[in-house]
Amino acid sequence: MGLTNLAYRDFEVWVLDIPKTIQYQLYNFKNYTKSLVFGTTPKRWFARTWVPLKVLRIYSDGSMKGDRGAPVVLEFRSDVDFKRNIIRLRQVCKNEPRYVVELPMPKWVIERIKEGGDVKYAMIGLKNNELYLALVAEREVEPYQPSGYRLVVDVNSWRYGIAWGLIHNGQLVSFKQEKPNLNVLLTLYYQAVKRGRKHGALMRIGLHHTTQGKRLRRQAKARRGKIYRVTRDKAYFLASKLVRKALKYKALLVIDDMTEESRRELLEERLPPDVIKLLMSNLRRFVRQLETLAQWYGVPYEFKRLPSTICPVCEHKLTQLPGRIMVCENCGFKAPRDLVPMYWAIKIENTRSQTY
């Protein structure tokens, strides 16, 4: 389906090792776009189908890694043909012997290779209706031995932010809650809602195809897109910042993923579903990115549930006061809700060192 999609958009699609029958159909496809075989217009999700490709890497000393017949060749040579770091696509878009498309090597690849990574896979597909090659780098590293520092990351909704604490010798060395500017996000959200409503009103009287109607729709969409990008960029920025922090202290990264609990908390506050979605957007991506970066840089990490509603001193249930202050009616412990998991992390560390 992915190949059909490419062919439909006027790319000549040929992939090595593909069964002859499929090649035949693809080849003939363009002549029979209205035929029964591939006669329907590709749906949007076709564009999400990506074709995996084998990769051959040629290094500056002439050594090679990967499949010699691979359609994607990455050359990290600086003196041959006066060419530097290029990607060659062989016979993928056109099935002629020695047909080659040359692409400049993205900086991203050079950086990952310098870090000891290896591009083992490539995917070809469509991005914004253009042919796009995505490279996947892998790296195998032994995680370092933790120095005794622990970096605890508590993943909440954006409402209270992602809380992190650096713990050493039973002490909370530093603590911070990080979130995007919520006022900006909520302003964008309400602007999008308002424009959406106006557009809806025009639609009911059949005027949504007018210039004004189209503009409202475009503006609402642009604002929702902006919300998504702001939270996505924040998620990527924070994941990178926290992994660098862990590396600096040779800390064990402890991830407390309480996104589901946070979602419930927001539901209990009776916030509109749209706002909850906004406050939860890209948090999964944050956790995934944090884990990926930790693996890439060899940061030892573990997922651990750290309670925020149980007393870290006597394990009695905590009561929540206004302003998200948690108190223990049994022993008098009192702390802001987002600090409770940090006290739990310290408590666990102390119990561990007593056992050994």
- Residue matched to tokens 């604490």: 165
CA–CA separation, 101 vs 270, rounded Å?
55
CA–CA separation, 149 vs 163, rounded Å?
17
Query: E strand or H helix at 233, and its extent?
Result: helix 211-249
CA–CA separation, 161 vs 157, rounded Å?
6
Per-position x/- string for 197-236, each x denoting binding to Zn ion as judged by CB under 5 A, each - no binding: ----------------------------------------
Comparing C-alpha atoms, which of 186, 285, 294 is closest to residue 234?
A: 285
Burial category of 82 from C-beta neighbours within 10 Å (exposed 0-12, middle 13-18, buried 19 and up): exposed
Give the nearer residue to Zn ion in terms of CB position, either 94 or 316: 316
> Which stretch in 70-78, 84-92, 271-279, 309-317 sits in contact with Zn ion by CB under 5 A?
309-317
> Which stretch in 158-166, 241-249, 278-286, 321-329 sits in contact with Zn ion by CB under 5 A?
321-329
Minimum distance, C-beta of residue 276 to Zn ion, in the bound complex (Å): 31
Q: Does 317 bind Zn ion (CB under 5 A)?
A: no
Comparing C-alpha atoms, which of 297, 182, 292 is closest to residue 246?
A: 297
Q: Does 314 bind Zn ion (CB under 5 A)?
A: yes
Q: What do you get for the CA distance between the two ends of the chain, in Å?
A: 58
Given candidates 121, 237, 297, 333, which one binds Zn ion under the rule CB under 5 A?
Answer: 333
Dmax over Cα atoms in the chain, in whole Å?
Answer: 80
Given candidates 330, 334, 350, 353, which one binds Zn ion under the rule CB under 5 A?
Answer: 330
Give the nearer residue to Zn ion in terms of CB position, either 309 or 330: 330
CA–CA separation, 75 vs 72, rounded Å?
10
Minimum distance, C-beta of residue 330 to Zn ion, in the bound complex (Å): 5
Give the nearer residue to Zn ion in terms of CB position, either 66 or 312: 312
Give the nearer residue to Zn ion in terms of CB position, either 113 or 340: 340
Q: Is 116 helix (H, G, I), strand (E, B) or coil?
A: coil
Give the nearer residue to Zn ion in terms of CB position, either 294 or 318: 318
Give the total residue count for the chain: 356
> Which stretch in 141-149, 207-215, 234-242, 324-332 sits in contact with Zn ion by CB under 5 A?
324-332
Q: Is 178 helix (H, G, I), strand (E, B) or coil?
A: strand
- Residue matched to tokens 């059909």: 4
Give the nearer residue to Zn ion in terms of CB position, either 30 or 324: 324
Q: Does 316 bind Zn ion (CB under 5 A)?
A: yes
Given candidates 124, 151, 279, 311, which one binds Zn ion under the rule CB under 5 A?
Answer: 311
Q: Does 328 bind Zn ion (CB under 5 A)?
A: yes
Give me 220's structure tokens.
């609402």
How many other C-beta atoms can be found within 10 angstroms of the C-beta atom of residue 137? 17
> Which stretch in 66-74, 184-192, 291-299, 303-311 sits in contact with Zn ion by CB under 5 A?
303-311
Given candidates 331, 334, 350, 353, which one binds Zn ion under the rule CB under 5 A?
Answer: 331
Contact positions vs Zn ion (CB under 5 A) = 311, 313-314, 316, 328, 330-331, 333
